[in-house]
Each structure stands twice: as structure tokens, then as C-alpha cells.
Amino acid sequence: MSDGDTRLPIEPLEVRHRREGLVHLALTAAIALAAVPALAIVLFIAYKGAPAISLGFFTEMPMAGMTQGGILPAIVGTLWLVGVSLLFSVPIGILAGVYLSEYAGRSLLARGVDMAIVNLAGVPSIVHALFGLGAFVLFLDFGTSILSGGLTLGVMTLPVIITSTKAAMQSVPHTFRVACWNLGATRWQTIWHVVLPNALPGILTGVILQVSRSAGETAPVLFTGAAFYLPILPTSVWNQTMALSMHVYALVTQVPKVPEATKYATALVLLGVVLCFNSFAIVLRTYLRRNRRW
């Protein structure tokens, strides 16, 4: 405390207690304002979208310029994109997390990597889109494809996996490692047989969050892999594809005469996917904290 005026106000107790009550009320109002409108909006989307959701909505191609039919290719396309991004970012991210937790120590390089992760996480999604276009679509000549889009998403979500892997591994007590070293195990054997298995659920939480994040992102795939209207299912990573997030954007801003319920239903599906994955991650994390063996 640096400033001089740290004395408690000398006022009648009654006044101070009344103020306490008012502040309590104001802060309660603040948390309500922070959460209630957003929650209400989510429920409103569910209310408006639910009537248009049927089995056919998930299994049919969009028809008549997207004004009828379902969203099957968008769902399948998102699966492809998320799959490619996982294949790229999970191995690299986990290995990088292992490096930061077990090898890097407090070296200058480790500081540099930490800084890079923070910055990578803060790069705007549209800048990732520019990078994906320049690096994957044009320079590596992957074209506008699932591969380019998935890789762009992968680079973007890499920090999520690195950070959660690092945290999960560091939460494994050091004594576990020491015990293993004393048995004559090498550093890698210790990591593989002792640290990683204990950190696995925590790492998994990060991977789930990555899935949800990539499924929701739009800007990075806008110019790298996603198409507005392509009512066929992709067959390889070299195809372009529709994507759920892109479809929400297209229905709202680019295509005229789409029934309102269809728009809400599409947004609801995207919202549902993202919130389900995040809820799952939260449940997993809570379960882990309760059942930690150390």
C-alpha cells in the first residue's frame, strides 16, 4: 500500500453498514448484468431454433439456394477441419508442453517460448487467416482446401494445448519423478511411464477445449478452406468444404430469403456443439480435482 490514505473512514457504524448493503446490492446487479442478458440470448436462440431442428436437418443437403433442406455438409466439413487441426496441433502441442514442463527449466529459451505462446494466443483470428492464406494456400500450394483450413486452425489453437499440457504435467508432484529416477529410469522413461499417464486427463481437457474452439472459428477458414455453398461431402483433405461456423455467417449475411427458423437452428447447432464440448471439459476438470490421488 503506497498511498497515505489507508485509514478506515471514521463514520458512524450505521452508515458504514448501510453502505456495505448498497454495495452488495450493486455488485449483485453487476454479476446479474454480466450473465443474465447473455444467458437469455442463448435461451432465446434455443427457443427460436428448436422447432426447425429435425433428424432431416442433420442428414440432408441444403437445397434451393440454402433456403431448404439440412446442414449435413456443414457438419461433416467442420468434422474434417477439426480433425485435421487436431492431427496437427495435438502431437506438436503435447510435445511442446512436455518440453516446457520437463526440459526447459528456467532458461532464456523457455522464457522466449512462453512469450511466443502468449503472443500466439493473442494474435487476432483474421491475422491467422492472412497467415494461412500466405503460408498454406499459396506458399505450400495446398490450395483452398481442408488441409489449409485445418492447419490454420491448428496453428491458432496450438497455445491451448501447449498451456494445458504444461499445466497438467507440472501438477504431477516432483517426488513421483524422483522416485522413478531412483529406480534407474531415464528422463524419457520417467515421463512416458509416470508423468504422462498422471497428466493425461488434464491434457485431454485441453484437447477438448481445442475442439470446441476450432469448431467455432470462422475467420481463419474464410479464405483457406471453407466454401459458402458446396452441397457435396468432402472426400479428401484437398477438397474445399462447407463448415458450420461459415454456414451461420452465410445464412445471416449472404443469402436472401432463408427462413428465420433455419438461421436460428443453424446457430443453435453450432452453439450446442461448442457448449457441449466445453461443459464436458469442465465436468472432466471438476472430476479430476475431486479424485486427485495426491
**Contact partners, residue 275, CB within 8 Å, separation at least 6:** 42
Q: What angle do CA 244, 245, 248 make, to 5 degrees?
A: 90
HEC profile for 256-268? CCCCHHHHHHHHH
34 is a site residue for other proteins (CB under 8 A): yes
Stretch of 31-39, 63-71, 77-85, 199-207 contacting other proteins, by CB under 8 A? 31-39
Under the binding rule (CB under 8 A), the answer on residue 288 touching other proteins is: no
Which residue, 2 or 235, has its beta carbon nearer to other proteins? 2
Closest contact distance (angstroms) between CB of 287 and other proteins is 13
* Contact window for other proteins (CB under 8 A) among 104-112, 176-184, 194-202, 233-241: 104-112
Stretch that binds other proteins, among 59-67, 70-78, 121-129, 232-240 (CB under 8 A): 121-129
- Asked whether the beta carbons of 186 and 119 are under 8 A apart, the reply is no
271 binding other proteins? (CB under 8 A): yes
Q: Kindly tell me which of 223 and 229 has the beta carbon lying closer to other proteins.
A: 223
Least distance to other proteins from the beta carbon of 180, Å?
A: 15
Site for other proteins in 155-194 (CB under 8 A): 155, 158-159, 162, 186-189
Verify binding: residue 125, other proteins, rule CB under 8 A.
Answer: yes
Residue 91 binds other proteins (CB under 8 A): yes
Burial category of 93 from C-beta neighbours within 10 Å (exposed 0-12, middle 13-18, buried 19 and up): buried
Q: Binding segment for other proteins among 53-61, 62-70, 93-101, 173-181 (CB under 8 A)?
A: 93-101
Please choose, out of 50-58, 64-72, 167-175, 257-265, the segment that lies near other proteins by the rule CB under 8 A. Answer: 257-265
Q: Using the rule CB under 8 A, is 43 a contact of other proteins?
A: no
Site for other proteins in 70-89 (CB under 8 A): none
Helices (H) and strands (E) in the chain, counts: 12, 2
Q: Which is nearer to other proteins, 134 or 235 (CB)?
A: 134
Least separation, in Å, of the C-beta of 113 and other proteins?
5
Per-residue cell: 14: 450505521
Q: List alpha helices for 99-229, DSSP H.
A: 108-122, 125-132, 146-170, 174-182, 187-190, 196-216, 219-222
Q: CA-based Rg of the chain, rounded to a whole angstrom?
A: 24
Nearer to other proteins, 131 or 176 (CB): 131
Give the C-alpha separation, 56 to 60, whole Å. Answer: 5
Compute the distance between CA of residue 106 and CA of residue 109 in angstroms, rounded to an integer: 8
Q: Cβ(101)–Cβ(164) under 8 Å? A: no
Residue 165: name the closest of 109, 214, 204 by CA.
204
Given 43, 63, 115, 232, the residue binding other proteins (CB under 8 A):
115
Q: Which residue has the cell 529406480?
A: 183
* Angle subtended by helix axes 196-216 and 146-170, to nearest 10: 140
Q: Which C-beta is closer to other proteins: that of 66 or that of 162?
A: 162
Among 53, 75, 104, 242, binds other proteins (CB under 8 A): 104
Q: Which secondary-structure segment (H or E) carries 58?
A: helix 55-59
- Contact status: 208 vs other proteins (CB under 8 A): no
